[in-house]
């Protein structure tokens, strides 16, 4: 193996740049050239390839986003388009690929391996932390710290005005962000996709606090209620309480990565290069406790990763 490629795909996540840097540095030490695919799967289809070296990857550890850019690529659902992408990989002499992203990224990577024998290793880059096979994903720690800072500031206003505030955080299919920041910020209620949201219990929590006291409710965007706005409307229509709603949105994706995310990104980047050189393919490199994990890509989305039950219990106990 003489030349590998790396790309970032799907939603950006803080730490992706540290990840790209680690891949380039590790490959260089192993005598392998690194090519960056710019723009995710779209860049692969359109032949947007560039050489990565020490200069190109210098001074990017503390930068959010991804220097390789990213995109959604619905065209990649088409088998002919995937075949065209493979032709680009072969044209540029790519012997192996590191795909950093979430489950959508891994679906595409799996198909490249199955249909065309492309040697490809996935690494978990998503703030949602919803991939089976790793304790944490690149970007998650930064996202929860960003959300916690915002929620602490909202609590100041809630306390000053004696108002009810609903704060919506990201997590379309998983409540990891919501549950962690809910416990960390002392939320009076946490609504997540993994549990049914009970508006009556929510109302009782608010009344217990006192209608003239501050109350902060954290809502994961994937909650079955439809999100913070819809849940607030249900509360107002049933009980006459009109919460203020803040949707944190994409602010959770940006900003300099935390130390924890930089270290995780670096470790998984180095391990992904070595996995390719050892002949592994169609696997995700993750971390469980202190150990590296190598999980089949299919398992990362077929096996559900649950929010720990102790966190759900703790969010109720500490109200």
> Which residue in 179, 168, 141, 193 sits closest to 314, CA to CA?
179
Own/partner long-range contacts of 148-153 (Cβ < 8 Å, ≥24 apart): 148/181, 148/184, 148/185, 150/246, 150/248, 150/251, 151/181, 151/185, 151/187, 151/216, 151/218, 152/185
Whole-model pTM? 0.95
3-state secondary structure of 48: coil
Q: What is the pLDDT confidence band of residue 212, given thresholds at 50, 70 and 90?
A: low
**In angstroms, rounded to a whole number, what is the distance separating the alpha carbons of residues 222 and 230?**
12
CA dihedral 235, 240, 241, 242 (to 10 degrees): 90
Backbone angles phi, psi at 274, to 5 degrees: -65, -35
Query: In this structure, what token pair is assigned to residue 222?
Result: 């994937």
Pairing status of strand 3-8 against strand 33-37: parallel
pLDDT above 70 (res 260): yes
CB-CB contact of 182 with 215 (8 Å): no
CB-CB contact of 244 with 250 (8 Å): no
Q: What tens digit of pLDDT does each residue of 116-135 get?
A: 999 999 999 999 999 999 99
Backbone angles phi, psi at 257, to 5 degrees: -70, 150
List helix spans (H) across 240-308: 259-277, 297-302
pLDDT at 210: 76
> Which residue in 54, 13, 12, 61 sits closest to 33, CA to CA?
54
Out of 103, 128, 141, 180, the active site residue is 128
pLDDT above 90 (res 319): no
Mean pLDDT, to the nearest integer, of 92-115?
Answer: 97
Catalytic residue status for 53 = no
Q: At what angle do helices 140-161 and 259-277 cross, to 10 degrees?
A: 160
What residues have CB less than 8 Å from 207, skipping those under 6 apart? none
pLDDT at 78: 96
pLDDT above 90 (res 214): no
pLDDT at 211: 66
Domains and CATH numbers, the chain: 3-139+257-302 (3.40.50.450), 140-253 (3.40.50.460)
**In angstroms, rounded to a whole number, what is the distance separating the alpha carbons of residues 5 and 29?**
15
Q: Is the dihedral of CA 268, 274, 275, 277 positive or negative?
A: positive
| Average pLDDT across the chain, whole number | 95
Q: What tens digit of pLDDT does each residue of 219-253 get?
A: 999 999 899 999 999 999 999 999 999 999 999 99
Query: In this structure, what token pair is assigned to residue 86?
Result: 């493979």
pLDDT above 80 (res 318): yes
Q: What tens digit of pLDDT does each residue of 160-194 get?
A: 888 899 999 999 889 999 999 999 999 999 999 99
């Amino acid at each position: 193996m003489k030349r590998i490629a790396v790309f970032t795909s799907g939603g950006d996540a803080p730490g992706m740049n540290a990840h790209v840097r680690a891949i380039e540095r590790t490959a260089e030490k192993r005598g392998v050239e690194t090519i960056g695919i710019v723009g995710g799967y779209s860049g692969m289809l359109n032949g947007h390839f560039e050489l990565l070296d020490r200069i190109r990857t210098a001074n990017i550890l503390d930068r959010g986003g991804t220097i390789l850019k990213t995109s959604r690529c619905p065209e990649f659902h088409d088998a002919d388009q995937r075949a065209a992408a493979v032709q680009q990989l072969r044209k540029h002499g790519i012997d192996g690929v590191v795909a950093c992203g979430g489950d959508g990224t891994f679906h595409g990577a799996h198909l490249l391996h199955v249909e065309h024998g492309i040697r490809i290793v996935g690494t978990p880059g998503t703030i949602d932390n919803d991939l089976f096979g790793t304790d944490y994903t690149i970007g998650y720690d930064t996202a929860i710290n960003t959300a916690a800072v915002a929620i602490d500031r909202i609590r100041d206003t809630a306390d000053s005005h004696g108002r009810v505030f609903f704060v919506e955080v990201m997590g379309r299919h998983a409540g990891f962000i919501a549950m962690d920041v809910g416990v960390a910020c002392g939320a009076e209620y946490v609504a997540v996709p993994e549990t049914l949201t009970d508006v009556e219990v929510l109302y009782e929590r608010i009344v217990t606090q006192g209608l003239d006291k501050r109350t902060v409710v954290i809502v994961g965007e994937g909650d079955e209620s439809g999100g913070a706005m819809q849940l607030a409307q249900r509360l107002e229509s049933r009980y006459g309480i009109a919460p203020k709603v803040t949707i944190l949105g994409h602010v959770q994706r940006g900003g300099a990565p935390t130390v924890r995310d930089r270290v995780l990104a670096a470790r998984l980047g180095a391990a992904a290069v070595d996995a390719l050189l050892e002949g592994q393919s169609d696997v995700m490199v993750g971390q469980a406790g202190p150990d590296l994990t190598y999980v089949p890509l299919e398992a990362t989305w077929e096996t559900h990763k649950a929010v720990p039950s102790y966190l759900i219990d703790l969010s109720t106990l500490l109200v």
